[in-house]
Amino acid sequence: MKYIAEFFMNLPDLYKGNHQDTKSTKNTKRKLHSNHSVLGALGVLVVSLLVLALTGGCIAKSPIQGKQHPSFLDLTSRFFAPGARLKGSGTGTFDPHYPVVRKGERRDTMLLIAPVTAKAEIGGIEGSYFLEALCTQVFNTGDGIQMDIYLTERGERRKVYGRYFDAGRRAEDRDWVPVSVPLILGKARDSQVEIEASAGPQGDLTSDWLALSSVRLVPGKEAR
Ligand SMILES: [Ca+2]
C-alpha cells in the first residue's frame, strides 16, 4: 500500500511530462517495477487457475467424459415371477426384496419359494457375459433346493446352469454361495433369463426358500 501511495504521489513526475527522473521517482519506479512483477506473477497465477477451473468444468460436463460406463448390468429390478404370489408364505412365492442374513452378512435378496420361476428380460444384449449372483438357502431343513437357470433366445430355451443347495448337510451352503454362469448373448429381442427353484431329490418342498443377491450381468473378457 505504501508503494501504491508513492506511485500516486509521483504521478505528476512519472506521467505528466516530467521525464527527468528524480531520486525519489527512480526509487518509486524501481519499487513499482518490482511490485508490478509480483502483481504480474499473481495475475498469471490467477488467470492460470481460472483457465484450469474452466477447463475442468468443461471436462466434467463433457457428454463423453461424463458418460457412465457401468461395469455390470444389475438385473435385480428386472425379475418377475408370473403366477407367483408376492410377499406371502407357502409355495410358489416371489419376493423381489427380502432381507437375509448369512454368516453375519445381511443382504437384500430376491426370494424364491419353490416351486417358482423368476424371469428377466435381457433382449438386445450382445457379447460375452457372466450371470453372477450370491445365493443361499434360507433354512437348514428339508432335502434342499434345486436351482436351475435357463437362457431363452429366439424361441430356444436351454439350461445353462444347475446347482443343488443342501444347507442342512453342507456347511458351505449355509453361507453366501457365489454363482457365475458364462453366457454368450446374441442380441436377440426375446432374450430372457429364468431362474427356477424346485424341491430337492425327495420332492420335499418344506422350507424351500432360495435367496439370490446382487443378480447381475458382468461383461466377459472379450467385452471388457
Ligand atoms: Ca426341499
Q: How far is the CA of 213 from the centre of ligand 1 (A)?
A: 20
Q: How far is the CA of 103 from the centre of ligand 1 (A)?
A: 21
Amino acid 83: pLDDT = 84
Long-range contacts formed by 78-85: CB under 8 A, 24+ apart: 78/120, 78/121, 78/122, 79/110, 79/118, 79/119, 79/120, 79/195, 79/215, 80/118, 80/119, 80/120, 81/112, 81/116, 81/117, 81/118, 81/119, 82/117, 82/119, 84/116, 84/118
Q: What is the pLDDT along the chain (224 residues), one digit of tens a residue?
A: 444 444 444 444 434 434 444 444 444 445 444 444 544 444 444 444 444 444 333 333 333 233 344 689 999 999 999 888 876 555 679 999 999 999 999 999 999 999 999 999 999 999 999 999 999 999 999 999 999 999 999 999 999 999 999 999 999 999 999 999 999 999 999 999 999 999 989 999 999 999 999 999 999 975 44
Amino acid 158: pLDDT = 97
Structure-block grid coordinates of residue 40: 504480474
Q: How far is the CA of 91 from the centre of ligand 1 (A)?
A: 11
> Torsions phi, psi of 66, nearest 5?
-85, -5
Q: How far is the CA of 70 from the centre of ligand 1 (A)?
A: 37
Q: How far is the CA of 205 from the centre of ligand 1 (A)?
A: 4
Amino acid 70: pLDDT = 60
Amino acid 166: pLDDT = 96
Q: Which CATH architecture has domain 73-223?
A: Sandwich (2.60)
Q: How far is the CA of 214 from the centre of ligand 1 (A)?
A: 23
Amino acid 90: pLDDT = 57
Q: Residues 110, 142: contact at Cβ < 8 Å?
A: no
Q: Residues 106, 100: contact at Cβ < 8 Å?
A: yes
Q: How far is the CA of 56 from the centre of ligand 1 (A)?
A: 58
Q: How far is the CA of 203 from the centre of ligand 1 (A)?
A: 6
Amino acid 3: pLDDT = 45
Amino acid 112: pLDDT = 95
**Buried b / exposed e along 137-176 (16+ C-beta atoms within 10 A):** bbeeebbbbbbbbbbbbeeeeeeebeeebbbbeeeebbeb
